[in-house]
Structure 1
């Protein structure tokens, strides 16, 4: 670990924290980074919108949270149109206090307001886009980029996950862009849950969105019902358009007693479910750097994913996951192998733990962030 200089006032901004985990990976990345930075003596907090039952919590995954109830300013645009006047005030105030601001930025009003506040207050800032700012041809994206791109260009650095994301972001930013720095997501080795692992539970834990392909998970489950009559399949995640198709497949296949949609869950509950499952399946395509996969590896849960995932090659080469072409048959075969071969399962889990400790180390991520913050602050 790199020795930390005098603690900095570090603020991160993410668009939405919610009790159903709807915003997914960027929240996990932000809270993981901030927890490690806090342990090194930095004054940290996460600023965000909040959506859920009751008032905003004081912390998110143990990190100080300053969140405000989300309001829809632009209907029909999902996360892009969410905002809060109270969050705008907090962004202005905290940008003035912070030594450095890190914005987990997408095409949305929160990201735009955070970048604008930092720019006007003269606070150095970094952006991390999580694959959310890529070339888009639509009129809305082009109009939004007219305001967003100049602010992104004034960042001290843009943090990217993969070569593909770097290429796409470079195309969006064009000439005059800041350095694009490769920084992987990181995770800590998980503490085993108090309860036992369920040897018959196969889990899907992601948004129910066409790119995540939850229907492929149900189709794979249908192929496995005859081979493994005791196995159960559960989907968790906020619906973003695919739930009707999932329910239709379950009904048409007569799978209601084997496949269940359990609804969205908060992040701490999601981690618990990952740790108790026998296998985690992520059928997504073009997934840059899925945090849920890293969290499953850290929990000792073997993973099945597709070859278009940004970290598929690394995991396949190290034996840390079973990588497939994403077809329901291939997904089903991979799950069947893990459930039926204890030696393969043990090797995969051990390789996953090694990957967490070496390739996807949160300690190494925080080392790099500390260096970039010092450079941004002139240290």
Structure 2
């Protein structure tokens, strides 16, 4: 099949959309399909484009004339779609509210080309961007919903969000995100991260990976840690990820803990460096208020690291889980952290790795994605 993937933006720091889109595309090529990615040139990464080109996935960026939050106006995209959309068997849209989706839906309907859409947890209209989302939905929601043939949902919680949004149940198909098992085949030796950040071997590392923002639950995690460390001074909190304005408003007490190295801020980490942190961590915590999936949890499982997630994480409702699920309150989180023993680490290491291998690896996921595409064209390979 010839498959067109459409993403609003494509650069490593964009997180979920870029990660999912590029991994799906590469695995589809490995399975013998032709895949092209189109996107805006907003914060575009030439290195990522070259990496994808080497993997057999051409990327075509279009100049973004106006950028409003995550809405990128790319007028040159219109003519390209008119000229080339008919060459593809199926279109896979990433994100719901984008200029690119508007253009695709208008032309795909005319040409009768099937469209799959993956919203990546952006569907429901939640603060702080409620007004622009409302205006987009009033204008374009109905056309997009009517044009799209299948909506990919990641978890049962994500399915409920789609139903609340008004997507018909018969348009929903379950397909989780995943990770590349090859990246975790040969894990780095323990101690590298601790050595870089001068964390003694007898200290217990609590690890968080993600944006430093209140919507990610970072304030809840830090407040819980402050209660924990008051009685357990050998515990350390490591925060990996870019600051999204949170550090501007932290209290003097949090600043003091940062100065004492009880809270360690590393900034963003990718690839081997991120895996080193996961290997050395005693527990990984995802404290989000509303996280549709949580790929970082899978990364922790692949490294054999115990995890604690809140009920605000979509994975918490799934039947296969290797970590501890808690209600989002400080006593529950503190108790869960203190419950992590050597035996718990051993059990989590085995269970987590098996779950990732059996369910959340890109090779198996893309086999199911291929089946979704093929359902529109029985007999087309």
How high is the TM-score relative to the length of structure 1? Answer: 0.81
What pairs up with 1:187-198 in 2 under 5 angstroms?
187-189=179-181, 190-197=184-191, 198=194
Distance 2:173 2:289 in 1: 24
Aligned match of 2:357: 357
Distance 1:270 1:254 in 2: 20
Distance 1:51 1:108 in 2: 13
Aligned match of 1:4: none
Contact kept in structure 2, 1:154 and 1:178, CA below 8 Å: no
What pairs up with 1:276-355 in 2 under 5 angstroms?
276-314=280-318, 318=321, 320-338=322-340, 341-355=341-355
Kindly indicate whether residue 29 of structure 2 is the aligned counterpart of residue 27 of structure 1: no
Contact kept in structure 1, 2:190 and 2:276, CA below 8 Å: no
Deviation at 1:344, TM superposition (A): 0.9
Aligned match of 1:140: 132
Distance 1:124 1:333 in 2: 49
Contact kept in structure 1, 2:3 and 2:33, CA below 8 Å: yes
SS of residue in 1 equivalent to 2:8: strand
SS of residue in 2 equivalent to 1:127: strand
Distance 2:107 2:47 in 1: 22
Kindly indicate whether residue 145 of structure 2 is the aligned counterpart of residue 152 of structure 1: yes
SS of residue in 1 equivalent to 2:10: strand
Deviation at 1:378, TM superposition (A): 4.4
Contact kept in structure 2, 1:50 and 1:56, CA below 8 Å: no
Aligned match of 2:239: 235
Q: Specify whether residues 42 and 208 from structure 1 end up closer, same or farther in structure 2 by C-alpha distance, changes over 3 A only.
A: same
Distance 1:183 1:306 in 2: 22
Q: Which runs of 5+ in 1 are unaligned?
A: 1-7
Q: Specify whether residues 127 and 254 from structure 1 end up closer, same or farther in structure 2 by C-alpha distance, changes over 3 A only.
A: closer
Alignment: residue pair count: 362
Distance 1:148 1:172 in 2: 10
Contact kept in structure 2, 1:119 and 1:151, CA below 8 Å: no
Contact kept in structure 2, 1:214 and 1:246, CA below 8 Å: no
SS of residue in 1 equivalent to 2:248: helix
Contact kept in structure 1, 2:212 and 2:218, CA below 8 Å: yes
Deviation at 1:233, TM superposition (A): 2.3
Deviation at 1:192, TM superposition (A): 3.3
Q: Specify whether residues 303 and 119 from structure 1 end up closer, same or farther in structure 2 by C-alpha distance, changes over 3 A only.
A: same
Deviation at 1:16, TM superposition (A): 2.3
Residue-by-residue CA offset, 1:93-124 (whole Å, 9 max, x unaligned)? 65343221111122232433444454455432
Contact kept in structure 2, 1:218 and 1:246, CA below 8 Å: no
Kindly indicate whether residue 214 of structure 2 is the aligned counterpart of residue 210 of structure 1: yes
SS of residue in 2 equivalent to 1:15: coil
SS of residue in 2 equivalent to 1:130: coil
SS of residue in 1 equivalent to 2:375: helix
What pairs up with 1:233-272 in 2 under 5 angstroms?
233-246=237-250, 250-251=254-255, 253=257, 256-266=260-270, 270-271=274-275
Aligned match of 1:111: 101
Q: Specify whether residues 253 and 238 from structure 1 end up closer, same or farther in structure 2 by C-alpha distance, changes over 3 A only.
A: closer
**Cα RMSD (Å) of the superposition?**
3.3
Higher deviation after alignment, 250-259 or 286-295: 250-259
Higher deviation after alignment, 133-142 or 283-292: 133-142
Q: Relative contact order, CA 8 A, sep 6+: which one is greater?
A: 1
Q: Which runs of 5+ in 2 are unaligned?
A: 195-200
Contact kept in structure 2, 1:103 and 1:111, CA below 8 Å: yes
Aligned match of 2:158: 165
Contact kept in structure 1, 2:283 and 2:337, CA below 8 Å: yes
How high is the TM-score relative to the length of structure 2? Answer: 0.80
